Structure 1
């Protein structure tokens, strides 16, 4: 039975559904951006800005979900399925409560929050509409994120993938109807896009809830949501809070960087939003591999198979770098034509084209950071990634971005240079930490066969890009 369970946690079995799910999420964002661009470039700027704000707000419930996901994979690897079940239930309960609070705040304070973040005044009316509607449904994002994480870490990565399919289909059709006044729907523009987003997320929550209740060996009963295991919840927070700080560093520094870009002008803000879409095309496979290997390593580590866990990170990085490099090169070659699909504004296209070469440099560093950072998180070594994020993101990504982009007048090019430096600094730090095997040697995770992980033989470390 144990060997059969391990087959569910191979990199390929875990990663390909995540890839399709991420691709569909990317497609949702790309179609969203493409359709919203038919309204106006100002509407695109508002959507891009709002998404950064929403990501910043999600850090609280993501902290719980991320810690719970790693623990679930570890507990299942060690044969402690009852604890894994309890962790999933508590994570959903706490995340939902946090999501309700965020929904109330964003719905009632949409314009003041947007104004405080220096969104150009002419964009505030649109922001008030979009942020209040989509932000008011933040509880749906909390539930969706947590249930997807729990389901994925049980080894079922196909369930969230199927959900993404349904959500995308509904969202595209509703977007089309609301933007163009088709399918019997009113032509509500950005308001309709916001309603479409919330409606598609509600469908996703219903589908995921059905799968969540059946994610473990026995169906979860509603009465179980009244239980709360404090020691297990402390384990979640022990792993999760540094990941939450890490993620919050990223989203808040990105939000601050967006305020820098907003100061440069609405055209730069729109160009950055379009470039986000292009960048997403570059690392979809790399991200899916990084997410898959985190689940795989956590499961192997829980089972005491630490040497296999160590090698798995390098294998994932080696596979990912090939595909990320190819994707980044294609974007560099065809980027200007793709940008032309989103906007006819020559200034916005020119700004985007100027960043294509820098994106080619950015992506390998981003992959290294994602893959090895996730590997460390899978072992529970989350404080190290937190410390490197606190220093690198705030000093390099944020501080130097202001110096080069705003103070020295380099604009978006200066900001991108700082983003590149930040990714490589964090990636190299993660590589050094992983090669040292500190977490693998010191951490102890109970296993179904032994209470102590198998020590890693002190053989020379394989090359980072090994197959």
Structure 2
């Protein structure tokens, strides 16, 4: 029994959770950069369409993030409190609901890609490319939904290696097929951006199949075909209580980013392409920090479920101690070498000049993002999701989005003003989240609940001892 406890403790250690997530994210970043580099060989307009479309897809994924994210936290908490069967049931329910939402989104994007792109202010010259890319990749949203819920469920059982290996395989296949479609190699037709879209869907389909196989064996009792008829209202309610604020929070961020992308589209395709290239470079800054923050969320949810509130409280500060220096150093490296790297993607002088200025602002942006990732994930892990939702709704839309429009578009200051508003938003929310975590509200509530359970158990024991023997 002691050996099993030690094994579970090691399984949920921060490092063992974090390193596969980091490798997964790092390789996705490298392969994503190669992907962007390949698409840039088609045209800068193709890059702008891919960047814009990905923002749209990210916005729509928030519709099923409510269930997937909430389920992940509940699964880790249930495993921490040794309620394995309930964790298993939660995973099954989340899979069914998330896939249903993904199917609806697939049908929507296949049916109306051009009106959606036009409504979001995409420049008219980009609409033909966007119509094809959105309908093909968007038609595979059911696969994105399945991958999201399967990967989240698997990670929160403590298995971060399975999703890592799957993501590596998916991205390698995607890059090989991209190369074939873009350059007409390996017997592939030279289909350009249409081929890239087809490559994306096929690689995601293969990844979904692998993740589903891993998912079936992720719990002590293997999931079988008959188990997919299970639906427990009480457990689904637990998912939604934690999940709906997470969904709103995620939606708030993604839709605010989508709004900002539409503001950039108003400024012109140069600004839109510059932001797309910067998105790729910015990912480099917080890869390890993001991995640590996600691992901390899994670990803290597990510790919280097990009633280890002191360990849960201190875990986030360990993440910040490591994560903040890393993102600062990485952002400074980008300031020094970022323009040279960008030269691999585009030769457009206007885009390069814009990105060079944005790299300095990125040095200010990344520490704020690191604090939000670490402390925000920790608050979510203990169920304090309404707080992170509330500050997101207020400051993302008033500061990041509203002020971006006022200063960037209305007053004509441009993309520099938009970045400055995004930086301000990150720091305001980061500071508020820090003081919320220091307050230990949900951790104290957990301690009170555990104390009541101990008192009730003691009372039952006393009553049993006081009862006359039969």
Q: What TM-score comes out, normalization by structure 1 length?
A: 0.95
For 1:309 and 1:450, locate their aligned partners in 2 and report how far apart those are by CA, in whole Å.
20
Q: How far apart, CA to CA, are the structure 2 residues paired with 1:31 and 1:92?
A: 31
1:350 maps onto 2:353 in alignment: yes
Distance, in Å, in 2 between the alignment partners of 1:83 and 1:354 is 51
Query: Is 2:236 aligned against 1:233?
Result: yes
Match of 1:311 among 294, 314, 320: 314
Q: CA-to-partner distance for each residue in 1:47-105, whole Å, 9 max, x for gaps?
A: 00000000010011111010000000000000000000000000110000000000000
Aligned to 1:86: 89
Aligned partner of 2:324 among 321, 326, 332: 321
User: Does 2:273 match 1:280?
Assistant: no
Q: 1:208 aligned to 2:199?
A: no
1:432 and 1:386 map into 2 onto residues whose CA distance is 16
Corresponding residue of 1:360: 363
Instruction: Return the offset for 1:445.
Output: 9.7
After superposition, the Cα gap between the structure-2 partners of 1:409 and 1:2, relative to the gap in structure 1 and judged at 3 Å, is same
Q: Hey, what does 2:343 align to over in structure 1?
A: 340
More helix by share: 2
1:137 aligns with 2:129: no
Distance 1:112 1:434 in 2: 43
SS of the aligned residue for 2:286 comes to helix
Contact 1:444 1:451 in 2 (8 A): no
Whether 2:400 is the aligned partner of 1:397: answer: yes
C-alpha contact 1:304 1:445 (8 A) present in aligned 2: no
RMSD over aligned Cα, in angstroms?
1.4
1:75 pairs with one of 74, 78, 102: 78
Q: Give 1:223's match in structure 2, choosing from 213, 226, 248.
A: 226
Query: 1:253 aligned to 247, 253, 256, which one?
Result: 256
CA distance in 2, matches of 1:400, 1:64: 31
The SS at the match of 1:341 is: coil
Aligned to 2:25: 22
CA distance in 1 between counterparts of 2:448 and 2:322 reads 28
Structure 2 residue aligned with 1:465: none
The answer to whether structure 1 residue 58 and structure 2 residue 64 are counterparts is no
- Of 195, 198, 217 in structure 1, the residue corresponding to residue 201 of structure 2 is 198
Post-superposition CA distance 1:117-149 (Å, at most 9, x none): 010000000000000000000000000010000
What's the secondary structure of 2:55's corresponding residue?
helix
CA contact (8 A) 1:103 1:137 kept: yes
TM-score under structure 2 normalisation?
Answer: 0.95
> In 2, distance between residues paired with 1:151 and 1:19?
16
Q: Give the Å deviation of 1:29.
A: 2.1
1:10 paired to 2:13:
yes
Contact kept, 8 Å, 1:111 with 1:128, in 2: the verdict is yes
Partner Cα separation in structure 1 for residue 6 and residue 90 of structure 2: 24
- Offset, 1:31: 1.6
Q: How many residue pairs were aligned?
A: 452
Q: Which of 85, 110, 115 is the aligned partner of 1:112? A: 115
Q: How much has 1:181 moved relative to structure 2? A: 0.2
Please list, as runs of the form range in 1=range in 2, the aligned pairs for 1:368-407 lying within 5 A after superposition: 368-407=371-410
TM-superposed CA distance for 1:451, in Å, is 4.6
What stretches of structure 2 of length at least 5 have no aligned partner? Answer: 456-470
Structure 1 unaligned segments of length 5 or more: list them: 454-467
Question: 2: CA distance between counterparts of 1:317 and 1:242?
Answer: 24
